[in-house]
């Protein structure tokens, strides 16, 4: 029965996503179970070992032990027991997601059900390949995040202004994404708002000519 209800939720979720508006997407955060959201996020991506190759330099060692964590996720199991998932033992909210070096391949769009996990405190997607996705503004809705790692994951383009909303961050890693850039106004807001940020790893370009956007 539990398995059937989960499949029904996923089917409903698929239908919802095809017909959702931004406002209905936001209001749905409390109605979709975290387990269903994780399952759909997993199903929206493919597994490819070449997405998490071993990478070594004199300063960096990444994906020395890569494997597909989400391949072990089962619909009839409590998602708090899944590999890479951490839940609060009292509330059962998903508060941690470590899918680093997990062979994940494919884009992360703004309507991804990854963003249906509003209680996340740590999110690590490093060492995957998200097919030159933009970093979605929806990342800015993870208000409780203290650690965000999107390094070495094939993200490109401008870092969204909404990243500066993550005022609880103590660690932000955007390194080894070759074509990321940050506009000066966004950079200034990051400095101003992320007052707890102790570790910021980035190889992005800053665009000073965009100062007038302030």
Query: Is residue 90 scored above 90 in pLDDT?
Result: yes
Main-chain dihedrals φ then ψ at residue 169, nearest 5 degrees: -65, 135
For the record, the structure tokens of 84 come out as 């890479």
Query: Is it the case that residue 23 has pLDDT exceeding 70?
Result: no
**CA–CA–CA angle 132, 135, 138 (5° rounding):** 140
| pLDDT at residue 24 greater than cutoff 60 | no
Q: How confident is the model at residue 60 (pLDDT cuts 50, 70, 90)?
A: low
- Per-residue pLDDT at 203 exceeds 50: yes
Mean residue pLDDT of the chain comes to 83
Q: CATH for 2-213, among 3.80.10, 3.40.50, 3.40.720, 3.30.230?
A: 3.80.10
Q: Which of 6-20, 44-58, 152-166, 194-208 has the lowest mean pLDDT?
A: 6-20
More reliable by pLDDT, 120 or 59: 120
Arithmetic mean of pLDDT, 51-71: 78
* Nearest-angstrom CA–CA distance, 211 and 131: 30
Evaluate if residue 72 carries a pLDDT over 70: yes
The pLDDT of residue 212 is 34
Q: Which of 9-18, 76-85, 138-147, 189-198 has the lowest mean pLDDT?
A: 9-18
**Closest by CA position to 111, among listed 141, 87, 144, 90:** 141
pLDDT of residue 176: 87
**In the chain, where are the structural domains located?**
2-213
Please state whether the predicted TM-score (pTM) of the whole model is above 0.75: yes
């Amino acid at each position: 029965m539990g398995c059937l209800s989960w499949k029904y939720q996923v089917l409903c979720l698929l239908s919802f996503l095809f017909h959702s508006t931004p406002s209905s997407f936001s209001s749905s955060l409390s109605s979709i179970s975290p387990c269903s959201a994780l399952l759909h996020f997993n199903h929206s991506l493919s597994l490819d070992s070449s997405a998490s190759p071993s990478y070594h330099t004199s300063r960096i060692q990444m994906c020395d032990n890569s494997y597909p964590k989400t391949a072990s996720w089962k619909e009839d199991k409590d998602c708090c027991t899944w590999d890479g998932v951490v839940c609060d033992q009292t509330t059962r909210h998903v508060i941690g997601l470590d899918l680093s070096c997990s062979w994940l391949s494919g884009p992360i769009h703004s309507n991804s059900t990854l963003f249906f996990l509003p209680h996340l405190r740590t999110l690590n997607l490093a060492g995957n390949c998200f097919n030159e996705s933009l970093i979605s503004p929806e990342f800015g809705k993870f208000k409780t995040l203290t650690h965000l790692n999107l390094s070495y994951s094939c993200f490109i383009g401008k870092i969204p202004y909404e990243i500066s909303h993550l005022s609880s961050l103590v660690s932000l890693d955007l390194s080894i994404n070759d074509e990321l850039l940050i506009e000066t106004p966004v950079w200034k807001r990051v400095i101003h708002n992320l007052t707890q940020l102790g570790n910021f790893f980035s190889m992005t370009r800053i665009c000073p000519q965009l100062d007038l956007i302030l």
